[in-house]
Structure 1
Amino acid sequence: MTALANLQAPSLDDLEALAQDAYARLPEAFRRLCEGVVIRVEDFPDDETMTEMGCETPFDLLGLFRGIGLAQGGGQMQTGQFPNMVWLYRRPILDYWAEHEESLGHIVTHVLVHEIGHHVGLSDEDMEAIEAAAG
């Protein structure tokens, strides 16, 4: 029996651990901008999110930022406001991973940085530099 015969797809907890590790490797200055952002991992986006984002299938969305970004004046929490959240969607991420030549850790880091980048109003070039700094 080969070592592959016993492999299982990474669980929600596995992806959450990858996301937490990726977050810990981000530059400290970037993490300070993200203070209070909650990272959640779910299998798929919910129906409301899929409709709102115009998704044709549950695999169309790898991650999502929900909240009020710093670029939109979201630095101060208002009473009754939900915390800013980054959602990572496990099954679409695993599907993307199966079809590309990138490590799962790299993909999780990319999605995490991209979604947090929306929170702080970064350009694509800024996000690429942060990803590179995270290794």
Structure 2
Amino acid sequence: MRHGTPPGLDDILDMAETALAAIPAPLREMVRGAAIVVEETPDDETLAEMGLDSPWELTGLYRGVPLPQKSVLDVPHSPDTILLYREPILLEWIETGEDLFRLVRNVLIHEIGHHFGLSDADIDRLEREGE
């Protein structure tokens, strides 16, 4: 059996950007301006903040003020960011056998859902609708 090189940071970013372009326009418009960043793993500070012991437990994170809590009077501090963590995503891909693009898309949608203040049930519904 031949094994290729695992997808790199740019590969995951390309998948996320392709997935973002394919989500419904109203949802995409509402998240316009948020940056998508791919990192290898969450840092120790993020793990502590999230109450996690292992970097493998976090595949993505939304950083910013959730849309329902934003005000036009707010002074923006930094752009909202959707972080995707390459190594935990690849581990989940290996463990589940899920299609990698679909997995990246679901993590992205999950984090966008947090941007809108949606419940996990609402996010799960959005993920299924896009399949």
Gap change, CA 1:13 and 1:89, over 3 Å in 2 = same
Helix, strand or coil: the match of 2:27? Answer: helix
Shift of 1:115: 0.6
Gap change, CA 1:51 and 1:32, over 3 Å in 2 = same
Q: Give 1:25's aligned residue.
A: 22
Gap change, CA 1:13 and 1:101, over 3 Å in 2 = same
Code of the aligned partner of 1:63 = G
Instruction: State the distance in 2 between where 1:21 and 1:53 align.
Output: 28
Q: Give 1:37's aligned residue.
A: 34
How many corresponding residue pairs? 131
Shift of 1:35: 1.6
CA RMSD of aligned residues (A): 1.7
Deviations 1:95-119 (A, max 9, x none): 0100003100111011100011011
TM-score for the superposition, normalised by structure 1: 0.88
**Please, which of 82, 85, 89 is the counterpart of residue 85 of structure 2?**
89
Helix, strand or coil: the match of 1:50? Answer: helix
- Answering whether residue 96 of structure 2 is matched by residue 100 of structure 1, we say yes
The correspondence of residues 1-135 of structure 1 with structure 2, limited to 5 A, is 4-5=2-3, 7-72=4-69, 74=70, 76=72, 78-79=74-75, 81-135=77-131
Deviations 1:16-75 (A, max 9, x none): 000001101101111111121111000011111011111111111100011101122x25
TM-score for the superposition, normalised by structure 2: 0.90
Gap change, CA 1:128 and 1:78, over 3 Å in 2 = same
Instruction: State the distance in 2 between where 1:25 and 1:133 align.
Output: 12
Structure 2: give runs of 5+ residues left out of the alignment. Answer: none
Code of the aligned partner of 1:11 = G
Deviations 1:70-95 (A, max 9, x none): 122x2548435111111000000000
Percent identity over the alignment is: 42
Runs of 4+ with >6 A deviation: none
Gap change, CA 1:51 and 1:103, over 3 Å in 2 = same
Structure 1: give runs of 5+ residues left out of the alignment. Answer: none
